[in-house]
Amino acid sequence: MDISKLKTSRHREQELEQLSPFELKDSLIKLASDQHQKSVRTMLNAGRGNPNWIATTPREAFFALGQFGLAECRRAIDLPEGMAGIPKLDGISQRFEDFLQKHQGEPGIDLLQKTYRYGIEKHNYNPDEWAHELAEGIIGDQYPDPVRMLKHTEPIVHDYLVQEMCGGNPKMHGQFDIFAVEGGTAAMCYIFDSLVENFLLKKGDHIALGVPVFTPYLEIPELERYQFKVTFVHGSAKDENGNSTFQYPDEELDKLGDKSIKAFFVVNPSNPTSVEISPKSTQYLIKVVKNLNPNLMILTDDVYGTFVPGFTSLLNELPENTICVYSFSKYFGATGWRLGAIALHKNNVYDKMLSAIPEKEKERLAKLYSSLTLHPEKLKFIDRMVADSRQVALNHTAGLSLPQQIQMMLFASFALTDTDNKYKKVCNELINRRYNLLWEGMKIPVLPDPERAAYYCEIDIQEWALKHYDKDFVDFLTKNFEPVDVVFRLAEKSSVVLLNGGGFAGPEWSVRVSLANLDDEDYKIIGEKLSETMEEYLDAWKNSK
């Protein structure tokens, strides 16, 4: 077999492919770095999904608001040693309006003006209370109160989620409770923990996972505390030409009709496939849940929804069953801010099921939450999540920090007041341009897909081999190479780092490319290197014959 040998043996590849893709990437980065040092080639790491853009306007508003907050503090106490007081409520709205007028035309001021007016005109906020929350929030001089989310901040983030997750459905306005959390990862931890803490899921229970999926959703159910029995719902559909669409076939969604399955966890649009559940599949899922498993608990992680025009979450389609996790990290370029939100419909199956658990378990929960309320049995599930996030005893100091909540609200307000969707258009144009360049580099035409988010791209090497050659070539690959060989070959020979799709419970011979974190032209290079690697396998197969 005539193919270049790698430093990493097949036996070593077999060992390493047991790791999470995010752990495996460290070995790939080392190989790519070593190759980079030996040549003039630049290492291209398309393994992580951290975007290389940021939203500037809401950050400008954040820093401008900080100047107003400091001025308000100095009104109370202003000592040369660097000490000031805290913002005062009386008359603060007039002072804020004066501040906005004085600094008109400066960066961020226009968004602050729109945000202030939005709260008053849309939600009838008391001007002094609204301006005071903005000043205290930006300064961060108080504990979060309410602990779940600030009074004036929550409705604006709520409006944003309805706009972006529910297709702007006016029927959904005011229908959700929001819990501001430290990013999507914290949301996942809080939800898993509270479902178990409140006996809605028990160790060993049966759950379903939509796959391929972000690897923590594969790993968390296996932890000793949970040990869930997992049924995979495979996004295995193909179009009439044999191309993977990564949609869920009806027979896969039928699995959710099994009442022993208590919860369904799904990323929508998916990571790594980056496609939204199609309207056809969504309608079929609705029928399955309503007719066969009406108490199914659904957790949908919708962080990439903002990259699909007209996206509609399961939060909108099955609101009583669905907990929605949203992170501001990708769309606004804010992974370091740790900003996320959990949304739960005010009328939901979680609260209903809590009222139906056995009396012995109700008694245990009443004791657990008795320090919070005289009627712990009436405590909503989302408020239990808040308390559980701080071991209940520290509930009074729970909640996301005030400056984080203010930045989150400004991100939300920026999208709500961007009536021409200018930011969304340039964001989506950016990642779609990179997607097209990747496929151009591979010399493969791009197929239209209205469900495509294009934040990632998953490429199935075996599917490519079968479509362009025959099963004999696929058998050759399977016999002579590990599925992860392609990512090791790319790292060692081309200084390109991709993640293996098999680690996401996707096709074993697939790779995931992040389209978010490199320069545009880098994706054409990655496509070319992928094509060269495929040709290398092809030449080896031909020589073997």
Q: For the residues of 509-532, what is the DSSP string, one character each?
A: TEEEEESSSS-HHHHHHHHHHHHH
The pLDDT, as a whole number, for residue 4 is: 77
Q: What's the rounded Cα separation, in Å, for the pair 525 and 495?
A: 11
Tokens linked to 62: 């954040």
Angle, CA 110 vertex, CA 88 and CA 338 arms, to 5°: 70
Q: What's the rounded Cα separation, in Å, for the pair 488 and 390?
A: 42
Pairing, β 499-500 against β 510-514: antiparallel
Which residue reads 């340039």 in tokens? 426
Side by side, the strands of the sheet bearing 322-327 are 176-181, 340-345, 322-327, 297-301, 261-267, 206-211, 229-234
First to last CA, the chain: 9
Q: What's the rounded Cα separation, in Å, for the pair 412 and 339?
A: 11
Spell out the domains of the chain, with CATH numbers in brackets: 10-49+422-544 (3.90.1150.10), 57-142 (1.10.20.110), 153-348+382-416 (3.40.640.10)
The pLDDT, as a whole number, for residue 17 is: 67
Cβ pair 303, 329 in contact under 8 A: yes
Residue 145 identity: D
Bridge partners of residue 340, in order along the sequence: 181, 327
Bridge partners of residue 342, in order along the sequence: 179, 325
Query: Residue 457: what are its φ and ψ, rounded to 5°?
Result: -140, 130
Per-residue pLDDT of the chain (545 residues; tens, 9 = 90+): 567 777 777 777 676 667 677 777 677 777 777 655 554 457 789 888 899 999 999 999 999 999 999 999 999 999 999 999 999 999 999 999 999 999 999 999 999 999 999 999 999 999 999 999 999 999 999 999 999 999 999 999 999 999 999 988 988 989 999 999 999 999 999 999 999 999 999 999 999 999 999 999 999 999 999 999 999 999 999 998 888 999 999 999 999 999 999 999 999 999 999 999 999 999 999 999 999 999 999 999 999 999 999 999 999 999 999 999 999 999 999 999 999 999 999 999 999 999 999 999 999 999 999 999 999 999 999 999 999 999 999 999 999 999 999 999 999 999 999 999 999 999 999 999 999 999 999 999 999 999 999 999 999 999 988 888 889 999 999 999 999 999 999 999 899 999 999 999 999 999 999 999 999 999 999 999 999 999 999 999 999 87
Tokens linked to 362: 């109700």
Q: What is the CA radius of gyration of the chain?
A: 25
The pLDDT, as a whole number, for residue 1 is: 59
Helix 57-76 to helix 92-102 angle (10° resolution) is 130
Cβ pair 314, 291 in contact under 8 A: no
Q: Which sign, positive or negative, has the C-alpha torsion 36, 41, 47, 53?
A: positive
Determine how many CB atoms are found less than 10 A away from the CB of residue 71.
Answer: 16
487: which residues sit within 8 A by CB, 6+ positions away? Answer: 24, 28, 497, 498, 499, 500, 511
Nearest to 129 by CA among 145, 114, 148, 110: 145
Cβ pair 255, 208 in contact under 8 A: yes
Nearest to 112 by CA among 156, 70, 150, 62: 62
The pLDDT, as a whole number, for residue 40 is: 41
The pLDDT, as a whole number, for residue 16 is: 66
